[in-house]
Amino acid sequence: MLFNTVEFLIFFTVVYSLYLILNHKWQNHMLLVASCIFYMAFIPAYILILFLLIFIDYFAGMWIEDDKGGKKKLFLIISIVSTCLVLFVFKYFNFFNGNFALIAKFFGWNYPIGILNIILPIGLSFHTFQSLSYVVEVYRGRQKAERHFLTYALYVMFFPQLVAGPIERAWHLLPQLVNPRKVTLDKFYEGIYLIFWGLFQKVFVADNLALLVDPVFASKPPYNGVMVVLGLYAFAFQIYCDFAGYSNMARGLAKCLGFELMVNFNLPYFATNPSDFWKRWHISLSSWLKDYLYISLGGNRKGNFATYKNLFITMLLGGLWHGAAWTFVIWGIYQGILLIIYRLFDNVVKFTFSFKNYFIDKLLFLVKVTVFFQFVCLGWLMFRAQSAGQIYDMLTSIFFNFHFLRGIGLWQTFSSLLFFTSVLLIIETIQFWKNDLMVIYKSNFVITGTACYILFYLILIFGVTHGREFIYFQF
């Protein structure tokens, strides 16, 4: 069931109507049932996998908290291994098995293990990480184990953020489940605005740009570098608006119900360096990787070399989290190298390009944003490509086959890209300037009304209405 469909509108209308008339206890029960229905709308049988993970980590949390005999770490390991094993079987087994088979074939060895004929459960990586963070926090003594099974199940299954995040922490979401929520008109209006803004990002920007992106990556070499670059720019905004659109709709739906979910995207294309980018992009994942992987590896506590090693491993595994393919591994390696280079030369760059003049400083900021955006898009090439070979061919075309006059439909592609991103860029520039993601909502009636009218018109006339699936559902 997709947020951008009439079916979900009917579903949420029924859920919200029941929610308003029930008391706190029955609200939670109803939300759990609704979350089950929501998840089962994709592949019904896979809810059994979700409940398996819930059972494992629910009991692990209590065993860790209750242990008096020094077995806390054992229970933690059992939880992590069991949870990750489920993730490995469904997401990574065929990838590693296929590579082992290729190695065996190369050496002439007999390798009898075939691939598993399974489909990746939707959102498996998201609720796996959410469950793991809960168990780790209980082990660290920073989170009380949740004793009420249905409450814990709802923490993992809460339908607005179940299949694509944000990856919520137990300390943030569980208290909102345990304590009665207060539904107010202000929260409702704010939630509706976020849903509306997310819908605009998804059906007007992302889904229209997909029509520019897909033909570029579905084509065969030789490529024209200009078309590849335009396709990359289009994909940069497609994946951003697709994922940020989901996150905004999730936050909006939660607000209508009286919940607060974390901000998952904060104007990432205004970043000037890789460190800044990962504080703005998929914040729930980047902060998770920092708290539970980078810091656990040692963080920056053991010297520069160890810091670079930990950054590299973190981003490599972060790339693999996105998918079982070499393209995601390459993308993770690329992101790790960017972060290492930035840490190596950050102080030198700051000293060399330090100006007191206001206008020069702002111009330099614009240059840094523009230049770093090119590095981001280069990463998106690795992320979106269908194979390592395609990455090579497209990179070659950008540097050695960049011809404006040989492209067919270059102007049409460029004008479409500009049309579908211009309103987004204007609004996000205002958001950045005012340092407030809700600045349009908080403006006076005329500004808010005009902006909403323009967004509504663009959605109504140009929006893709057939319910295209969100990109991050596959992760």
Catalytic residue among 24, 127, 148, 322: 322
Q: Is 322 designated active site?
A: yes
Distance in angstroms (rounded) separating the CA atoms of residues 414 and 229: 10
Exposed e or buried b per residue across 37-49, where buried means at least 16 C-beta atoms within 10 angstroms of its C-beta: bbbeebeeebbeb
Tell me whether residue 112 is exposed, middle or buried, using C-beta atoms within 10 angstroms of its C-beta: 0 to 12, 13 to 18, 19 or more.
exposed
Residue 312: CB atoms within 10 Å = 17
One-letter-per-residue 3-state SS of 312-377: HHHHHHHHHHHCCCHHHHHHHHHHHHHHHHHHHHHHHHHHHCCCCCHHHHHHHHHHHHHHHHHHHH
Structure tokens, 266: 């904060």
Distance in angstroms (rounded) separating the CA atoms of residues 198 and 328: 26
Cis ω for the linkage preceding 166 (within 30 of 0): yes
Residues 6+ apart with CB under 8 A from 258: 176, 181, 182, 183, 184, 187
Distance in angstroms (rounded) separating the CA atoms of residues 269 and 258: 30
Residues marked as catalytic? 322
